[in-house]
Amino acid sequence: MIVLGIDPGLALMGYGVISSADNKIALLECGTIVTKAQMPFPRRLAVIHENIKQLLGKYDPDCIAFEELFSGKNVKTVIQVAQARGAAMAAAFGTGAELYEYTPMQIKQAVVGYGRADKKQVQEMVRLLLGMEEIIRPDDAADAVACAICHAHTSRFSGAFRIK
């Protein structure tokens, strides 16, 4: 199973592609899609859409796991990140890949075993699960990989998390 994990963001959208078979997880690629604040907003959304389409074409994932949005105090920022997430979701829709979403607490529970784990604990567990020397940087990419691992760990129960 190939899983694309996405950590939504407008300036930085994290992504992580893993393969999962027989309880073994391997990292295929991770990184961030970067958009600059000086760019017109519709162009930023287009860049996200185009980059997600490229990843989909390259890896043809079976599943795409989105981290659910965290609602912060700044409503404008939340709306913009939601639109960025929508651009990624629109790119993914219709590809044949199933779409899922997980809360940050569900991701932490699946990866670390504790839903209130801090960011460093999650990053360290991702490093250990993948047998890596160093933790993944930047944080957005690490979060996306954690989201993909969450889906791999919970895939037999994934119907409850499928985006309908």
pLDDT of residue 160: 67
Q: Report the Cα–Cα distance between both ends of the chain, in Å, rounded.
A: 21
Q: How is domain 2-161 classified at the architecture level of CATH?
A: 2-Layer Sandwich (3.30)
Q: What span, in angstroms and rounded, lies between the C-alpha atoms of 67 and 85?
A: 9
Domain ranges, ordered by start, for the chain = 2-161
DSSP 3-state of 91 = helix
Tens of pLDDT, residue by residue over 58-104, are: 999 999 999 998 776 788 889 999 999 999 999 999 899 999 999 99
Q: Mean pLDDT throughout 23-34?
A: 96
* pLDDT of 157 over the 90 cut: no
Give the dihedral sign, CA 10/108/148/154.
Answer: negative
Active-site residue, from 98, 101, 140, 143? 140
118 catalytically annotated: no
Q: Mean pLDDT throughout 126-146?
A: 97
User: Which residue's entry shows tokens 């000086």?
Assistant: 38
Active-site residue, from 7, 98, 101, 143? 7
7 catalytically annotated: yes
Query: Residue 38 corresponds to which tokens in the numbers above?
Result: 């000086």
- Percent above pLDDT 70 for the chain: 96
One-letter identity of residue 2:
I
pLDDT of residue 155: 74
Nearest to 28 by CA among 50, 47, 48, 1: 1
pLDDT of residue 73: 73
Active-site residue, from 67, 98, 101, 143? 67
Q: Mean pLDDT throughout 96-117?
A: 95
Indicate the pLDDT class of residue 29, thresholds 50, 70 and 90. very high
pLDDT of residue 53: 98
140 catalytically annotated: yes
